[in-house]
Amino acid sequence: MMPASITRIEDRPGLPELILRHGDAYLRLSLQGAHITNYSPAGQDNLLWVSNSARYQPGTAIRGGIPLCWPWFGANPDLPVRPQHGFARTRRFEVLSQQVDTQQASVILGLDASSEFPEWDGAARLEVEIRLSGHLWMELRTTNVSDRELAVGVGLHGYFRVADCLAAVLPAVTGLDYQDKTADFARRTQTAPLRIDGEVDRVYIDPPSMIELHDPGHPSRLRIQAWGHTDLVVWNPGPDIARALGDFDDGGYRNMVCLEPALALDRRRRLAAGASFAVGQAISAQKGA
């Protein structure tokens, strides 16, 4: 087995990245947004989808991988003029620590709430810990460093690669209630395993901690074990929205499904002054499952 390592690179001007290796497992992340763009388990290809039209520019979110939505998910419910999905995904994180040993390669990254938005200036601190071993483990830890209560939304906005979204199946949401953004957030119940047959933009409420994505065209079964969340967001733009997005390949929607443990909509976390909470996930791909 190759030894674990962490290497800093800057292939793209203004966008430093870290490369983590553990044995034959590989992970690439941008310090902008603590954004993972490649997770390749040992002996496997990248499990994550990244658009061929993604824009790698400072201050611009990267389309694909695992963007981090913080400190709100989707539109800001209090100030809709604020950017979609918060500001963490376009901010440079600081490397707080890194470690390699026989068990894993790991980093902890930190971000203070941006002074660009007065209501968040000096109010919160985000730490992101990422561990690469036989699987990918990541956790977002939010601390309220202000003297008032904060309402914090979070989303681990993972874009997962599939051979064809029309054949992919998500059984774990069967029986769950969800809010459907394509129908003005109408509340409905999923009565059968989810199949992607057009635009899907749903927030599933109280999902199980472990979900699997069944993709007949992939030799492994994707598993996500999540904690600290209240929701599972499932998104695929379908052909029309994909064509309208400037950083999304026109046909790319066929090869991705977003699966996102989240605290979304009115289920943001109410965080008292001085308090902390965590949301995280472990991602693995089981061959022959």
Instruction: List all residues 6 or more positions away from 184 whose beta carbon is below 8 Å from its beta carbon.
Output: none
Q: Identify the pLDDT of residue 288.
A: 62
**Residue 1, pLDDT score:** 58
pLDDT for 289: 55
Number of neighbouring beta carbons within 10 Å of residue 206: 11
Whole-angstrom distance, CA of residue 158 vs CA of residue 45? 16
* 220: Cβ contacts below 8 Å, ≥ 6 apart: 41, 44, 285, 286, 287, 288, 289
**pLDDT value at residue 287:** 77
pLDDT in tens, 55-90: 999 999 999 999 999 999 999 988 888 999 999 999
Flag residues of the chain having pLDDT under 50: none
pLDDT value at position 220? 86
**How would DSSP label each residue in 160-177?**
EE-S-TTT-EEGGGTT-E
DSSP character at residue 15: E
Q: Which helix (H) or strand (E) holds 40?
A: strand 35-40
| Buried b or exposed e, range 30-62, using 16+ CB within 10 angstroms | bbbbbbbbbbbbeebebbbbbbeebeeeeeebb
Instruction: State the pLDDT at residue 219.
Output: 81
- The residue to which tokens 């979609």 are assigned: 84
Does this model's pTM top 0.85? yes
